[in-house]
Amino acid sequence: MFAKKSEGSTGAPRTSGALPPSKYRMGGKHFKNDKAFIRTAVRDVKRLESYAGLTVDSRLLDWGCGAGRLAVGVREHLGRIADYHGVDVQPELVDWASENLAAPGFRFTCVDVSNERYNPDGTPERTLAAGPGSVDVLYAYSVFSHMNDEDTSAYLGLIREALAPGGKAFVTCFVEEDVPGWEENPEGYGPLEWKGRLHCTRFARWHWEDHVNAARLAVDRFEYGRETDGQSLYVLRVR
């Protein structure tokens, strides 16, 4: 069971709950710092409240959950919600989260689906591990930034199926104007030297939004280039 939340003089929540070890923290060097790790997680939970209607009664799918950064944010900011479900293809991360963060209202699932970077030997059968209409809010931070073009189109369709009426998806990806429709590890782009399969996948904005439209989703919000390594934020809704 999670430790009870208390408030400091600044209003910031403080708990004694477990945090993933440094080697399991995906998403950039700044996540290695405990305070930054918690702060960014809480920030995203607050944005899910503001942008996607997250409440304590929501069913939240954290797709690409890693070792549970967003779960830590939910724990710190809300205590718990109706259903937090973290899904990832990396068993060591999901195992850690299941052992250390699972509690009433918090669960984790490892799916053995193929991704050339994180699970190259996985099955080609795609799944979100979520039933039709079972998700009120979907969060996919830095997931489409490591995905091939064909999977991108297919998974947006699965997101459409999983979202409940009125549900929204909060996702990030690399999009730019006046670039090829889809590129892997574009040279000279962004703050890093991209190495290995799907380290960075970049879309032309028109191409990404064609995928969104084909999945019968609509763009509810777009913020260019403010996320990790220059990714953009999309909030999507069923249309």
pTM surpassing 0.85?
yes
What is d(CA 149, CA 165) in angstroms, rounded to the nearest whole number? 27
Residue 38, exposed/middle/buried by CB under 10 A (0-12, 13-18, 19+)? buried
- Max CA pair span of the chain: 50
- Domain covering 32-238 assigned CATH 3.30.460.20 in the classification: no
Break the chain into its structural domains and give their ranges. 32-238
Query: Which pLDDT score, from 0 to 100, does residue 14 have?
Result: 39
Tokens for 16, please give them. Answer: 């004694």
Query: Which pLDDT score, from 0 to 100, does residue 27 have?
Result: 62
What is d(CA 152, CA 187) in angstroms, rounded to the nearest whole number? 21
Q: Could you say which residues of the chain have pLDDT below 70?
A: 1-16, 27-32
What is d(CA 120, CA 36) in angstroms, rounded to the nearest whole number? 31
Return the amino acid letter for 140.
Answer: A
Tokens for 100, please give them. Answer: 């250390």
Q: Please give, one letter per residue, the 3-state secondary structure of 36-98.
A: HHHHHHHHHHHHHHHHHCCCCCCEEEEECCCCCHHHHHHHHHCCCCCEEEEEECCHHHHHHHH
| Contact present, 151 and 28 (Cβ < 8 Å) | no
Quote the crossing angle between the two packed helices 34-52 and 69-77, to the nearest 10°: 70
Query: Which pLDDT score, from 0 to 100, does residue 155 have?
Result: 98
150: enclosing H helix or E strand = helix 149-162
